[in-house]
Amino acid sequence: MRIDILSAIPESMESIISTSIIRIAREKNLVEIVLHNLHEYATDKYRHIDDYPFGGGAGMLIKCQPLFDCIEKLLAERNYDDIIFMCADGNVLKQSDSNELSLKENLMIIAGHYKGIDQRVRDKFVTKEISIGDFVLSGGELPALVLVDSIVRLIPGVIGDAESALEDSFMNGLLEAPQYTRPADFRGMKVPDVLLSGNHSEIKKWRENQAFEKTKNRRPDLLAGD
């Protein structure tokens, strides 16, 4: 898989894509992540990529020209399965979205900045608009990294224990059951006996019940299919 990320401040993402699971995936050549600095596509000597919005109002927008030039350059080099814009008014990211995107070959992610981007970029190129929650950040770089991490960890061969990813929260529409490790008794707080029993069918049943109860108490909307 190849992921191209367009950003006003790509250097802010370097450390994250160079550590942990994403680093492992890159070292195994399971994913290629390429950062693109939109300032390199600016046409004035100060490398400005933003301007005031028509009609007035606070904030600045990333202009059409640098985004169009960067996107069109990349499209001339390869086909993209999706061009994704990270934005507060997009569809909230769900595990099913990450599952679907992990099967793609080429993805382009636009990390907006300032007030956002010119609508014409969204109308012309963007195939998916994704938000990571009902709140606003100062830029799309962190949401882009969240999306990338949620996708990359699902690529076969990235995580050593593939079953671990399959048991995560939301993979089956439920929150994950409580997890414990050694020691079995820590300061009088004991691990549930069933987890020490070695009875895998009973353990599976316990985890399913715990996952259902946690979901019912914390995220009943998931059970309702919202």
- Cα separation, 92 vs 70, in Å, equals 26
- Top CATH class of 2-152 equals alpha beta
Annotated domain spans of the chain:
2-152, 167-224
pLDDT at 169: 53
What one-letter code names the amino acid at 120? R
Residue 170 predicted with pLDDT over 70:
no
pLDDT in tens, 104-128: 999 999 999 888 999 999 999 999 9
- Cα separation, 122 vs 71, in Å, equals 12
Helix axes 141-152, 20-27, angle to 10 degrees: 60
In whole angstroms, what separates CA 29 from the centre of its chain? 19
Cβ atoms 162, 176 nearer than 8 A: no
pLDDT in tens, 126-137: 999 999 999 999
* Higher local confidence (pLDDT), 176 or 6: 6
Enter the CATH code of domain 167-224. 1.10.1270.20
